[in-house]
Amino acid sequence: MTESTRTVIITGANSGLGLRCAQSLLASDPSWHVVLAVRDPKRGAAAVQELGAGARCTVMALDLASLSSVRGFIDDVPAAGLAPVHAVVCNAGVQLVSGAHTTADGYEMTFGVNHLGHFALVSGLLDTLTAPVRIVVVSSGTHDPARFTGMPHPRYTTAADLAQPPGELTSEEGRRRYTTSKLCNLLFTYELDRRLDHGSQGVTVNAFDPGLMPGSGLAGDYPPLQRLAWRYLLPALRVLPGVNSTRTSGRHLAALAADPRFDGVTGMYFEGNKPALSSTDSYKIDTARELWDTSERLLTHALK
């Protein structure tokens, strides 16, 4: 058996897109070891059994809704006896429509998990990664108001407003917070790439749109009838452009993390395995810097 010589960390790898990404990486190259960074280690262990590659997987606890958990994970990586970490896949995400939820640190849950937790994770891991490194951030086409997705258009005011928004949470507003968090994923990706000097330090950063994936876990907070439609009716739409199975999107995501044809590619947005333009707002440098600076302040405040 070939010994694993490099490690990839995948958040939310116990199900859906993250699990299929791990499966594809394990099947494509025996040199990869996969860290399943998951909130529930028991579910992570069940996922490892499904993958059937226990010797090439490590389950590590990571709750993106708790910045102390993120810090603990970052501290645990160097001591875990892993092969050098060459890739990080920021995949985990939530979409909440049934009421207001906050993280352990008091920040709005969708922003806290989809953006801030991953911001803290990547920022904290940078010094422990081994070049060449690939960072892939899972975004969504719903971030772009120019596309018809059936979702509310994102509404970015300031990062402080997103972290602690005023007003009540309606179902519509919950979905808007999701699309806005996916815009944050793009702003973060491009700003991180700029701060790392566009790959000159051996780290590439790209964003990924998996397309509409019926059967994924993002509809878990929807009302019962909508959950049933998401699980059983929408899979019939896979014949349409932009609608994918988690297996297909997982394969595309794994390729961005590992395939040699993407060596040196950075600061890009991919729809599946094809480069694309993201929304006009996602390229606003001043907005990206405001998001970055505010995110740093939020981390500092939470970890005092």
Could you tell me the two tokens for 15? 């199900």
The answer to whether 262 touches 205, Cβ cutoff 8 Å, is no
Phi/psi at 252 (nearest 5 deg)?
Answer: -65, -40
Among 178, 190, 222, 269, the one annotated catalytic: 178
- For tokens 């000159």, name the residue: 200
Position 281, amino acid: D
Inter-helix orientation angle 171-195/285-302, to 10°: 100
Mean predicted confidence (pLDDT) in 139-144: 96
Domains of the chain plus CATH, in order, are 6-302 (3.40.50.720)
Instruction: Give the tens place of pLDDT for each residue, 219-271.
Output: 454 455 454 444 544 444 444 445 668 899 999 999 999 999 999 999 999 99
Are the CB atoms for 10 and 22 separated by under 8 Å?
yes
Where does the pLDDT of residue 303 fall: very low under 50, low under 70, confident under 90, or very high at 90 and above? confident
pLDDT, mean of residues 17-44: 97
**Each residue's pLDDT tens digit, 166-176:** 877 788 898 99
Note if 269 is an active site residue. Answer: no
The arithmetic mean of pLDDT across residues 274-282, rounded, is 98
The Cα–Cα gap between 226 and 219 comes to 8
Amino acid at 264: G
Angle between helices 67-76 and 118-125 (to 10 degrees): 30
Kindly state the greatest CA–CA separation across the chain.
57
